[in-house]
Amino acid sequence: MNRNNTTKMRKGSKEKGFTLLEVIVAISILTIGILAVASMQAASIRGNSFASGVTEGTTWAGDQVERLMALPYDHNDLDQAQNPHQAIEGRYTINWNVADDTPITNAKTINVTVTWTDQGVQKSVSLQRVIPRII
């Protein structure tokens, strides 16, 4: 008689805890969440690398434009006959072309283009300025 009472107690008792299926589902959901966060991290790192390259390329282009604008109007680096001009700074290649009498007479238009390779893809940024001849 003791045995039947014990068996009935076990069957009727509410056990606390998780089933194996609940644990597997919870781990699956957690894994999917962690993978999503890891994917966002990788995309963020790629985006930051691209932004860094664009910022540095734009800085090199701006520096080159300022250097060229500070030169005398008839300087060799502002000579249209010597196009294209080129300088290399680390992984950045700086090219500039000069056009005389553009957009008006007694003015030079400078086009500065900075190129670099980022993750196997060539990127570039360009700036344009007009230098007037001051008489």
Query: Per-residue pLDDT tens for 49-79?
Result: 889 999 999 999 999 999 999 999 989 899 8
Percent of all residues in the chain with a pLDDT value above 70, rounded to a whole number:
88
Mean pLDDT (the chain) is 88
SS (H, E, C) the chain: CHHHHHHHHHHHCCCCCCCHHHHHHHHHHHHHHHHHHHHHHHHHHHHHHHHHHHHHHHHHHHHHHHHHHCCCCCCHHHCHHHCCEEEEECCEEEEEEEEECCCCCCEEEEEEEEEEEECCEEEEEEEEEEEECCC
Does 29 have pLDDT greater than 80? yes
Better pLDDT: 42 or 5: 42
Number of domains composing the chain: 1
**pLDDT of 5:** 53
Average pLDDT over residues 99-126: 92
Residue 2 belongs to some domain of the structure: no
Residue 24 lies in a domain: yes
- Give a yes or no: residue 55 inside a domain: yes
Q: Does residue 77 lie in a domain region?
A: yes
1-5, 46-50, 67-71, 127-131: least confidently modelled range? 1-5
12, part of any domain: no
Q: Give residue 91's domain range.
A: 18-132
Asked if residue 11 is part of any domain, the answer here is: no
Decide if 4 is inside a domain. no
Domain contains 88: yes
